[in-house]
Amino acid sequence: MTKDIFDIFDDMRLSWDIKNRCLEPLVFIEENDKDFIVTADLPCVKKEDVSVYAAENTLEIKAEMGIAYKFHSWGTIQRGIEFSSFNKVIGLSKNIIPKNAEAKFNNGVLEVRLPKRVDKKKSEVKKLCLKK
């Protein structure tokens, strides 16, 4: 059985989407009482080429690279692929307030501050009766 170049690179299980020629950026997530702070490395990207989408419990980062990154696998058969964008969807453990989210981009580093949704209503505690 002959494999397509896309299948061969997909088998490597690295952080990329071969069919869309897209890499996953390196991401660091910090959490404190009030916020999630997400930092992503986006080398070869300009500020105007970055899109950030915040929803109740997810953050999506998309960016177009100014310079394509080429990957080559050398062996008995030479293979190569070129990546031209970044994409990452991050699931958050708690809901956030998307309208209050803030993002800044400086020298290839994106920082997103996501304020957590705080319920003012206290959790109720119910005492359970044990059955015999």
Average pLDDT of the residues in 38-49: 92
Provide the percentage of residues in the chain whose pLDDT is more than 90: 37
In this model, does residue 8 exceed pLDDT 50? no
CA 62 to chain centre: 8
- Show the beta-strand stretches assigned E in the chain: 16-17, 22-23, 26-31, 35-41, 50-54, 58-73, 79-91, 102-106, 109-115
In this model, does residue 114 exceed pLDDT 80? yes
Higher-confidence position of 21 and 44: 44
What CATH number was assigned to the domain covering residues 5-115? 2.60.40.790
In this model, does residue 111 exceed pLDDT 80? yes
Parallel/antiparallel/unpaired status of strands 22-23 and 26-31: unpaired
Higher-confidence position of 49 and 80: 49
Q: Which amino acid is residue 26, in one-letter code?
A: L
Average model confidence (pLDDT) for the chain? 78
In this model, does residue 32 exceed pLDDT 70? yes
Its pTM stands at: 0.72
